[in-house]
Amino acid sequence: MTTATTLPARHLPGDPSIWVFVLGDMVIFGCYFAAYLFDRGHDHELFLQSQQHLSQGVGAINTLILLTSSLFVALSTQAARAADLRAASGLLTLGGACGAGFVLLKSYEWYSKLSAGLTISSNAFFMHYYMMTSVHFFHVLLGLVILVILRRELQGSAPPRMQLLETGATYWHMVDFLWIIIFALVYLMR
Amino acid sequence: MTQLRRNVKLDQLICWWSIPIFYQFFGLIFGYLTKIMGPPIPGPNLTLEGITAFTLGNARHMQIGIVLLAISLGFASMGTGVIVVQMRRMSGPGPVLAYCYLACGAAAALPGCLFCGLLFAVSVFRPDRDPQIIAVLYEMGFVGFIGCLGCFATQYLVFALAIFLDRRAIFPKWLGYMTLWNLVTELIAAPVWIFRSGPYAWNGLISFYLGVLIFVVWIVCLITWLKKAIKNQPLEEFDPACTGTLLV
Amino acid sequence: MTSHVRNPLTGIWLFLAISTVISWWSGSQHGANSYQASTWVTAIVVLIALVKTRFVIRNYMEVRFAPLWLQLTCDAWLLCLFGLVADGF
């Protein structure tokens, strides 16, 4: 276990199995993106018009929220390595708070779309929009549970297990970058 | 005594063998005979004539398939049983989650496996049945079959959780993560009740084909590592006085 | 606190935040009545997204320090995504 803030060369962060999950999830989301792009290619006009109903501002704020949460989680990991557990715990809490903010904003976004009568069966664009953001949302919720577990690890009486912290952080960063792609493909690209 | 100890895992091995055999049967029944999963599977957008043609045109194969399904479905319980035995060995909440796994499997077997077959059997029972009724049974069958994948979601969740919390590493951690992929694809199949076309419909690329692909990869890994878990189970865990009785 | 500000990870966050805003600005309507399809906007938006993702993967997820096979796999995934988008155009 290293206490330095930098890593030795060729270190696989976290429990190696988390990478099975991350790579698998990347492939699975890749399939969702492919299905979205395929349908988009077939009905570009519909997708373009439907996209206008989305609030790019809300999407951008959500992106910034998740990016900030990732920063806090990454800083927390570094602090834990430097054995500054108080800072690590505080930073993790901030990261989790950002994650909770994402959940609230996303819920509000869905509520406003549903109130406007735009449901999952409105058209192909909205089918993809709701499906992808729902699956991602489920990942965020799971991520928040994981962050709580990590925080408990940091606040426990025993020295925290770095592998567990890195594993949880890896999962959270994955949730962040998947959203970056969703934001670009669904909200912005035309 | 040594003779007794050598056969101590026999029950588990017999049950283990039932899994690959059952899935061969399953593939034969659902893929070739009843065509419920035989690619490409017919979709929600089929016309009344199309549905009637699919169902009645396949009637003899379906009938044979349903008979085989009804007889063989119970064997799925053997596989569940041996998985439960191994889950009980896990530290942490393993034993509790083992019983959750068992209960989920029992709850999911009817809608997830037999239900669709039953409905098709009924629809081909009379060749002169009203096409509207055949269509209803067709939709009930397919939407029920794929839509009820969610019933298995909890089963996979408890299995993954048990693996993650198990310090005895009965199963490797990556299998737990793969189980989570399975869980996600089962959840994706939940909205098949809504869509009549596209990748998230019951015959969709994502809901069906991706889901089946991931399931197949997962079940192959499960079967392989289950065998290893049985093989690596130390003999000390068995009661020497009674063949096969577990002390855990 | 200042150590966090001077931390390279914070610098990367700043880059990610700014590129998010640029991306958002590029993709927005700029007063037009409706969206027009635009290859340029798509290219900018998608490229920025892929670059941001790569930064998150390599720096936050510390893949920079990971074995080469993982670095290449992650880059391959990004390339495939780019290919998928490019294929549509």
The pLDDT of residue B55 is 85
Query: Is some CB atom of chain A closer than 8 A to the CB atom of C84?
Result: yes
**Distance of alpha carbon B12 from alpha carbon B14, whole angstroms:** 5
Top-confidence residue, A6 or B192: B192
Among B184, B180, B187, CA closest to B162:
B180
Query: Would you tell me which residues 101-130 of chain A have a C-beta closer than 8 angstroms to some C-beta of chain B?
Result: 120-121, 124, 127
Residue ranges of domains in chain A: 23-188
Q: What is the three-class DSSP state of B225?
A: helix
DSSP 8-state secondary structure symbol assigned to residue B246: B
With an 8 Å CB cutoff and a minimum of 3 pairs, decide whether chains C and A touch.
yes
List all residues 6 or more positions away from A92 whose beta carbon is below 8 Å from its beta carbon. Answer: A72, A73, A76, A147, A150, A151, A154
Return the residue in A17, A161, A164 with the most chain B beta carbons within 10 A, the one to mutate for interface testing.
Answer: A17
A39/B200 touch (CB, cutoff 8 Å), yes or no: no
* Interface with C, mutate which of A52, A71, A167, A179 (most C CBs under 10 A): A71
Domain ranges of chain B: 2-242
- Is the predicted ipTM greater than 0.85, yes or no? yes
Q: Report the pLDDT averaged over residues A13-22.
A: 89
Q: Are C22 and A83 in contact (CB under 8 A)?
A: no
Structure-token pair, residue A1: 């276990």
- Taking contacts as CB-CB distances below 8 angstroms, the residues of chain A near B216 are none
Each residue of B146-194: pLDDT tens digit?
777 777 888 999 999 999 999 999 999 999 999 998 888 888 888 888 8
- Which of residues A9 and B62 earns the better pLDDT score? B62
* Contact A15/B at CB under 8 A: yes
What is d(CA B240, CA B4) in angstroms, rounded to the nearest whole number? 8
Domains: count for chain C: 1
Average confidence (pLDDT) over A127-139: 94
φ/ψ (deg, to 5) at B246: -90, 140
Indicate yes or no: CB of A75 within 8 angstroms of CB of C60: no
- Which residues fall within 8 angstroms of residue A111, CB to CB, at 6 or more apart? none
- Give A-chain residues touching C33 at CB under 8 angstroms: none
CATH number for A23-188 (one of 2.60.40.10, 1.10.10.10, 1.20.120.80, 1.10.645.10): it is 1.20.120.80
Q: In which domain, by residue range, is C68 found? A: 2-24+44-87
The answer to whether A15 contacts B205, with C-beta atoms less than 8 Å apart, is no
Q: Residue A2: which pLDDT band, with cuts at 50, 70 and 90? A: very low
